[in-house]
């Protein structure tokens, strides 16, 4: 059993540290894991490791996992371990693809129904089908994979939320009711609304893919990454997406 987070470091500063730590503790609580430190202690330790390793532009991965004291399904007596790692790291996708847009296929795996898993956690087990989906996508010449939810609606990519732009300049993004409501997702929605861009959070059917003219992913690792195609549906890397990315980078 493991829960974790992913944070970015920009010019030596940690982006939204408190929000990520708060979500780490939420994930742990949902997984019946009691972290043996306070949120303040985790925040201080995170800042210290970034400082000690002098990470200027990189990534942080806090991990919380159960030990091996009980080798069974029951795990009440296991010791809880915590580690925080960080390293210099550039863009998640090839920098060229950040301007050209990445290509997605549509995964055969679906996000599970919300009553079958603790879907609102960042737990390691939830990423098994993401890894399988991404491996298949890369074997077939794609960069990533679009995953549908248990009802067959559009959910997210393997590690990032997704947005679409329609012909009227409005944005559409799936309701996060069976997958994570990403911190970057919420940040981009705030940026868009500050620019008077209407954001529609709703159920989106795959049949609507041909109705949109633009598409992009959001996530701590992905940041704001344009999508050039999903399967055989083509999209433009438009000025709105470029502008949203530029605004995000200046936060």
Element (H, E) at 141: none
Q: What share of the chain is helix, strand, coil (3-state, %, to 5)?
A: 30, 30, 40
Beta strands in 36-129 (DSSP E): 58-66, 80-88, 102-110
Range 19-55 burial, b when 16+ CB lie within 10 A, else e? ebbbbbbebbeebebebeeeeeebbebbeebbeeeeb
Cβ neighbour number for residue 57 with a 10 Å cutoff: 14
As a whole number of angstroms, the distance between CA 188 and CA 191 comes to 5
Q: Is 122 considered catalytic here?
A: yes
Of 98, 103, 122, 134, which one is the catalytic site residue? Answer: 122
The residues annotated as belonging to the active site are 122
């Amino acid at each position: 059993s493991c829960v974790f987070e992913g944070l970015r470091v920009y010019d030596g500063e940690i982006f939204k540290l408190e929000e990520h730590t708060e979500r780490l503790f939420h994930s742990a609580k949902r997984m019946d894991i009691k972290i043996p430190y306070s949120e303040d202690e985790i925040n201080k330790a995170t800042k210290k490791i970034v400082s000690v390793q002098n990470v200027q532009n990189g990534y942080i991965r806090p991990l919380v996992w159960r030990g091996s004291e009980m080798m069974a399904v029951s795990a009440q007596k296991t010791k809880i371990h915590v580690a925080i790692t960080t390293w210099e790291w550039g863009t998640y996708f090839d920098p060229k693809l950040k301007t050209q847009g990445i290509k997605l296929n549509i995964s055969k795996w679906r996000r599970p129904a919300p009553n079958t898993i603790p879907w609102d956690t960042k737990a390691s087990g939830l990423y098994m089908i993401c890894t399988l989906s991404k491996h298949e996508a890369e074997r077939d010449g794609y960069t990533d994979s679009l995953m549908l939810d248990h009802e067959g609606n559009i959910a997210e990519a393997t590690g990032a939320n997704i947005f679409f732009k329609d012909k009227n300049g409005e944005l559409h993004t799936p309701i996060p009711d069976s997958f994570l409501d990403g911190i970057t997702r919420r940040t981009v929605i705030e940026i868009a609304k500050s620019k008077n861009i209407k954001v529609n959070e709703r159920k989106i059917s795959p049949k609507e893919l041909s109705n949109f003219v633009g598409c992009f992913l959001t996530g701590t690792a992905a940041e704001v990454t344009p999508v050039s195609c999903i399967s055989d549906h083509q999209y433009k890397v438009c000025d709105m997406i470029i502008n949203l990315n530029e605004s995000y980078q200046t936060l």
